Amino acid sequence: MKKILLFVIVTLLCLSCRQQKIIKVAHRGASGYLPEHTLEAVALAHSWDIDYIEPDLVMTKDDQLIVMHDPHLDTTTNVKDLFPNRARADGRFYAVDFSLDEIKKLSVHERVNLETGEAVFPGRFPHGRSHFEVPSFIEYIELVQGLNKSTGKKIGIIPEIKAPEFHESEGKDIVSKTLFVLKSYGYEENGQAIIQCFEPNTLKMIKNKTNIPLLQLIAVNEWKESSADYDKMLTDDGLKEIATYAKYIGPYLPQLYDIKNDRAFKNDVMKLAHKYDLKVAPYTIRDDAIFKPFENKKEMMSFVLGELEVDGLFSDFADKL
């Protein structure tokens, strides 16, 4: 009887340890409940049992960092209504063409499909209700650090440097600005930040300029996220190279498994990543967008945590991880 009891206790302790190792990232804040990247979404996410909140960074015309998923403003704000004549030839409204003061006049709403005008996630916060501003990166940091002080928590941030190649072509040094702000707010010393990016050359350069750990995001080549070859990144040689400059990888979740006969089977990416001591935190877990071939979120999460045994997860609903 004692042996059985001891076995049960050890098993429970192992399960507890495993759960503690999962790095929980609030993807764009509490974006499943409030418009993404707003300070309100940050505050709600901070109330959860999580490790990091994720801000995406782009630059303004006057060289300020703002928290916005895209270099464009039209997918999540009313910029077209307020500044109808400021679009480029492609019809898009770019943050680098607007000052911070101008961007502060915008109202953030749920992400929309520009072709249909419909909400990408129709069950989320009602479109056009309330008023939410685009935050600067400094405002974002000061809110997180302020809440850490008042609550006693140590929730970190995991900023993504968006489209460095694009910003460079616009004469914007988004990398230096990001590193300057992070250093100014103590993230070089406090261990509460991870820098992520889809562009490997950017991360390789950053490696020599900061001791903040790095995360290599991995996209699907067809997305044309950058000039990088993401298929190659997922090979043994590719992951070996990533390990020379990054401590983490953030793949698209379906890149970690194959589908055969409507069933998911773990591929070699997790094993290869761990071979080179890389922690794996895939994206993005959502209640309202279940990956194939899974029938529901419960089935998906059982596979992700039980079969894949990932080290972390990005989620719009990080309170449910």
Tens of pLDDT, residue by residue over 148-176, are 999 999 999 999 999 999 999 999 999 99
pTM, rounded to two decimals: 0.93
Give the Å distances, CA to CA, from 134 to 126, 252, 307, 308: 17, 26, 39, 36
27 is catalytic: yes
Q: Which residue reads 């500044």 in tokens? A: 83
Domain 28-67+135-320 has CATH 3.30.60.50: no
CB–CB of 284/300 below 8 Å? no
Q: Which of 37, 46, 69, 167 is labelled catalytic?
A: 69
202-247 pLDDT, tens per residue? Answer: 999 999 999 999 999 999 999 999 999 999 999 999 999 999 999 9
The Cβ-side half-sphere exposure at 136, using a 13 Å CA radius, reads: 16
127 is catalytic: no
Which of 19-28, 35-44, 245-254, 261-270 has the weakest average pLDDT?
19-28
Mean pLDDT across 104-122: 96
Structure tokens at 254: 């379906």
The torsion region of residue 312 among left (phi > 0), alpha (psi -120 to 50) and beta comes to beta
Sketch the domain layout of the chain as residue ranges: 28-67+135-320
Among the listed residues 27, 37, 72, 167, the single catalytic one is 27
